[in-house]
Structure 1
């Protein structure tokens, strides 16, 4: 496992979560910037582990399992901390949509895998674009302070809403792809008799 670089990067991303949370709460002038840097490092490892897994031919079952778990844990942790820091409905609602979508799609993928139809709901291009907007939005909102005259938090807040639209769109696409299996009565009977 320790010879598998993509898996090491994925585990690093998981280990960065408590570091991220601790830095977030530090009473230090530059805590927000340091926290944003940790989040950016995690986001970069997310891209690199998938790229390296394919490039080095180190795709593994462990990596396929851990990669989405690491992503969802880091994103959920960051979003929850942002809502705790700024508890307004305008932030809580998109956060609930994003986390709710992740739970829904994870459950859908698990069920589709059980019935042998997982390939019908593979990660789409819209899902990757959604992730890029989401990661950028979270990074900017964590960074918080203006960068020269650019209002980073405000830009991040707007991008978060773009990410929410893409989140809902990608969820609809996943459900649409899975709909034939979800409506297949023989699968329901099979599940009952299981």
Structure 2
């Protein structure tokens, strides 16, 4: 297996996860700024690895597998540390919905591919909007402090709840698309 630049960027994103956790818990005033910066940097590497892979035809099966894994790990870990810092029912339920959906849809995609029906479970608009809301919410929640009169934490809470609602919608859309294959007999 040859490691391409996009795959190296994806691996770097995975290596940022323990650094994010460490920085988040540092007992210094700037830990929230550093955590948000790392999260944004991870998002930029996600965009960059995809762009480089497509632009320079550096796609690989390993990269196609690893990229969504890196994304889900980063989001899952970020949600866990946020909920640990802010143990509130709205955040905990939203995080559980988002993480549960990722596990469910990953399993669904794997199963649909195994039965030759992977074309039924393609990314939908609700999933894309959910991802944007989720990433912005996580950034706000990692920062967690007011910026002057702007209630960053409250905005992050509402964005994450909105992302969780879209998560349910997109999951139901995927399941509805897959239902005919799930109903058929083996």
C-alpha distance in structure 2 between counterparts of 1:125 and 1:35, whole Å: 29
Q: After alignment, is 10-19 or 51-60 more displaced?
A: 51-60
Does the alignment pair 1:25 with 2:25? Answer: yes
| Aligned equivalent of 1:128 | 128
Structure 1, unaligned stretches of length 5 or more? Answer: 189-194
CA displacement 1:35-89 (0-9 Å, x = unmatched): 1110111112122222222121112101110011001100000000011111121
Question: Map of 1:1-194 to 2, 5 A cutoff?
Answer: 1-2=2-3, 4-185=4-185, 188=186
2:146 is paired with a residue whose SS is coil
8 A contact 2:72–2:102 mirrored in 1: yes
Provide the rounded CA distance (Å) in 2 between the counterparts of 1:114 and 1:16: 32
Helix, strand or coil for the counterpart of 2:181?
A: helix
Q: Distance in 1 between matches of 2:120 and 2:57?
A: 24
State TM-score, norm by structure 2: 0.95
What stretches of structure 1 move > 6 A for 4+ residues in a row? none
Alignment partners' CA distance in 2, 1:9 and 1:23: 20
Query: How big is each residue's C-alpha offset from its partner over 1:9-38, in whole Å with a ceiling of 9 and x where there is no partner?
Result: 111110000100100111111101101110
Deviation of 1:91 after TM superposition, in Å, equals 1.2
Q: RMSD of aligned C-alpha atoms?
A: 1.1
Q: How far has the Cα of 1:108 moved from its partner?
A: 0.4
SS at match of 1:57: coil
CA distance in 2 between partners of 1:95 and 1:32 (Å): 19
Give 1:178 deviation, angstroms. Answer: 0.8
Residue aligning to 1:192 = none
Q: How does the TM-score come out when normalised to structure 1?
A: 0.91
Shift of 1:125: 2.6
Task: State the SS of the aligned residue for 2:59.
Answer: coil
Shift of 1:115: 0.7
The number of residues matched between the two structures is 185
CA distance in 1, matches of 2:85, 2:23: 14
